[in-house]
Amino acid sequence: MNLENAASLVARIDYVESTGSTNTDLAEAAVLSVADYPDLSVLCAGTQTQGRGRSGRVWQSTAGESLSLSILVRPKNVSLEHYGWLPILAGLAMARFVASILPSAEVGFKWPNDVLVDSKKISGVLSELVGDGTGVVIGVGLNLAQSAEELPIEAATSLRLEGATVSFEAAVTGFLTEFRSLYDSFVNHRGDADASELRRSATAMCLSIGRRVRVMLPGDQTLEGKAIELDASGRLLIAVDGEHQLYAVAAGDIVHLRHN
């Protein structure tokens, strides 16, 4: 595996053929050897045996056909209140990369960070605060070359199914190029998503805005309404049916309902 190009974009990059979960490994290493794992340390894997998705779901990373990558960030001078933007930033970076590969498809992200190609999921992000609170591990999975039978759900796709052949190395470099540019601007503006233009850029690629959505709340509760905009913290503001005030969703899953 030649990750020379990608290595120039980050502080450290490691590759393993197979592991349980790159998020778990990197989060552990980040706490055990703080000095060896600075801001922008990356771990990627050819396959994961215990890949984890959001909300406790399993994430499948087929050997030789998928990208599993985690980035440790330790954003300097960014207060915790702005950390909600980090997973969105990663989803936006991946959406930009995928859009550059598939220029004729509709590519964007479903809030907060599922990347969709013509409404099918191609990539997901799992972001976790490391144990001692000194950083965040942002894990991204990308379907590179799976066939429809190899994907876990019908509403998923891969770059190959969309007609593009992209190597593991090219995907790592392409994604990290987008990530690095967004992240540098975000950190240089101390996490201010307006000053760094992150809110504007994310809004432009967020497929949820203007859509009718169902929000899954903790405790099996749901609410429905129209997604209006991202607020300054990256929360999705929903005009809930029958209510006057906007409801801010900070975490969790949404479902896109029929087009309105």
In one-letter notation, the amino acid at residue 190 is: R
91 binds ligand BTN (CB under 6 A): no
Residue 124 beta carbon to ligand BTN: minimum distance, rounded to whole angstroms: 2
Residue 168 structure tokens:
């593991």
Residues 14-33 as x/- pattern, contact with ligand BTN by CB under 6 A: -------xxx----------
Question: Considering beta carbons, is residue 69 or 151 the nearer one to ligand BTN?
Answer: 69
| Of positions 91, 112, 139, 225, contacts ligand BTN by CB under 6 A | 139
Which window, 75-83, 120-128, 209-217, 228-236, contacts ligand BTN (CB under 6 A)?
120-128
Nearest to ligand BTN of 60, 201 (CB atom): 60
Is residue 126 a contact residue for ligand BTN (CB under 6 A)? yes
The CA-based diameter of the chain, rounded to the nearest angstrom, is 55
The contact mask relative to ligand BTN for 48-67 (x = CB under 6 A, - = no) is x--xxxx--x-x-x------
Q: Is 55 left (phi over 0), alpha (psi -120 to 50) or beta?
A: left
Q: What sign results for the dihedral spanned by CA atoms 91, 97, 101, 107?
A: positive
Number of residues engaging ligand BTN in binding (CB under 6 A): 21
- 29 φψ region: left (φ > 0), alpha (ψ -120 to 50), beta (else): alpha
Do 70 and 33 touch, CB atoms closer than 8 A? no
Among 60, 68, 146, 158, the residue binding ligand BTN under the rule CB under 6 A is: 68
> What does DSSP assign to residue 1?
-
Does position 70 interact with ligand BTN (CB under 6 A)? The reply is yes
Residue 157: CB partners within 8 Å, gap ≥ 6?
A: 117, 118, 120, 121, 122, 143, 151
Which residue among 75, 87, 91, 141 contacts ligand BTN (CB under 6 A)?
141
Q: Which amino acid is at 75?
A: P
Query: Among all residues, whose Cβ is closest to ligand BTN?
Result: 124
Type of residue at 52: R
SS3 195: coil
Identity of the residue, 126 or 161, whose beta carbon is nearer to ligand BTN in the bound complex = 126
Q: What count of other Cβ atoms lies within 10 Å of the Cβ of residue 200?
A: 11
| Candidate segments 76-84, 134-142, 177-185, 226-234, binder of ligand BTN by CB under 6 A | 134-142
Nearer to ligand BTN, 57 or 200 (CB): 57
Q: Shortest gap between Cβ of 116 and ligand BTN (angstroms)?
A: 11
Q: How far apart are CA 48 and CA 22, in angstroms?
A: 7
Per CB under 6 A, residues contacting ligand BTN are: 21-23, 48, 51-54, 57, 59, 61, 68-70, 114, 124-126, 139-141
